[in-house]
Amino acid sequence: MNAQLPLEEETSRFVDLAGLRVHYNEAGAGHPVIFIHGSGPGATGWSNFSQNLVHLAESFHVIALDCPGWGKSDTPSAEQSDLVEVVRELMDKLQLEKAALVGNSMGGAVSISFAVRYPGRISHLITMGSPCPVPNVFSETMTTEGLKILFEAYAQPSPENFKKLVEVMCFDPSFATDELAAQRSAAALATPDHLKKFLQPDNFATLLPGFFELGGKIPQISVPTLAIHGRNDRTVHYENSLQLVSMIPNSRLLLLNQCGHWAQLEHSAEFNRSVAEFLQHSYG
């Protein structure tokens, strides 16, 4: 079925979570699937996943979260920043006992952490371009080309840096459009406090407390897991997904050639088909 892409405002929702006003986009019906975006300036649930939501909403209840500190959600204090707890509180508020989590980059790290912390609340774990909390053997971790440009765009949110940001995230330069760079720039500059919060020295530790100490607990993840990664990812090397599937017993890897950090954008048709089939085949 060829569905028309819904407008952002048609799917836009707000909810109050422990003193934070949090934004999300919602569509469809069925088993809940929560999409969690990456960390770049101007990232939102909608900008990361809009063209995936319409496909998955044909069969599932899809929710794309703006994490606190991004998009239309409030800027959190350090005490409000734990994104795993934000996801749990959102599920509680929406009365979702269990959901599949789909996370891009930082969102993948959130999803992995959630699977360890709340194993009874997650039905599927799907990551793409996600870090894995174990040491890499043959690739860089925190000094990749993409991460350097990401931090430059946070520190100096100029049009030139946003153009560099979308270019480094994609393998195919045709996806790194001026329109996409402008969209990310507008979303970032709309809330300067979000940019300042990300650059605080302890920010990652408050967003994902204890993430890099989870290595020994990853084999405890028992839910069906799909790790998607671009072979040409210049931000988070695909070794991370190799490590992830080597430790999770019920897991598989989809490695895409000619693909950067945004598999859901560059290979949207294959991403949508693979995620839908994975959810339908392994749930229930």
* Pairing assessment for the beta strands 225-230 and 122-128 based on DSSP bridges: parallel
By CB atoms closer than 10 A (0-12, 13-18, 19+), residue 217 is middle
Tens-digit pLDDT profile for residues 203-234 = 989 999 999 999 999 999 999 999 999 999 99
Phi-psi region at 129: left, alpha or beta (left = phi > 0; alpha = psi -120 to 50): left
pTM of the model: 0.95
| Domains of the chain with bracketed CATH | 11-282 (3.40.50.1820)
Closest C-alpha among 172, 146, 175 to residue 161: 146
User: What are 62-112's pLDDT values in tens digits?
Assistant: 999 999 999 999 999 989 999 999 999 999 999 999 999 999 999 999 999
Considering only residues 2 and 6, tell me which one the structure prediction assigns the higher pLDDT.
Answer: 6
Task: Please identify every residue annotated as catalytic.
Answer: 261
